[in-house]
Copies of this chain bind each other. A is one copy, B any other.
Amino acid sequence: MILLVVKLKLQAGKKDEFFNIAKPLIEASQKEAGNIEYHLYEESNEPDTVAFIEKWKDQAALDYHEKTEHFINNINKLVALCAKPPIKNSFNMLQ
């Protein structure tokens, strides 16, 4: 199982626009066979900072996800609303 944390610092005032684009991406991603969890969070005490925190069955599931239409069609629109490039951290469960 792979846990992915993708942190995005949004440009000021872009949260609503971001959510409208993110919503269909979240819903479609949650339906993927290889997905375990896919949610959008906001970071406490960090204005305009959100994070997709995702769990995937394995690397193949994540690779498949990043080739889906809902990912490809939306990711660039989301990144365009960011103040700087997303920070992506990947984790493997130990215990």
Chain A contacts to B: CB under 8 angstroms:
2-3, 5, 19, 22-23, 26, 39-45, 50-51, 53, 89-95
Task: Tell me if A39 and B93 are in contact (CB < 8 A).
Answer: yes
- A42 and B5 within 8 A (CB): no
Which of B19, B23, B51 is the one whose CB lies under 8 Å from A91? B51
Query: How many angstroms between the C-alpha atoms of A5 and B91 in the bound complex?
Result: 11
- Taking a contact as CB atoms under 8 Å apart, the answer to whether A90 and B43 are in contact is yes
Is B44 a contact of A94 with CB atoms below 8 Å?
no
Whole-angstrom CA separation of A73 from B50 in the bound complex: 33
A39's closest neighbor in chain B, by CB? B93
Rounded to whole angstroms, the CA-CA distance of A39 and B1 in the bound complex is 12
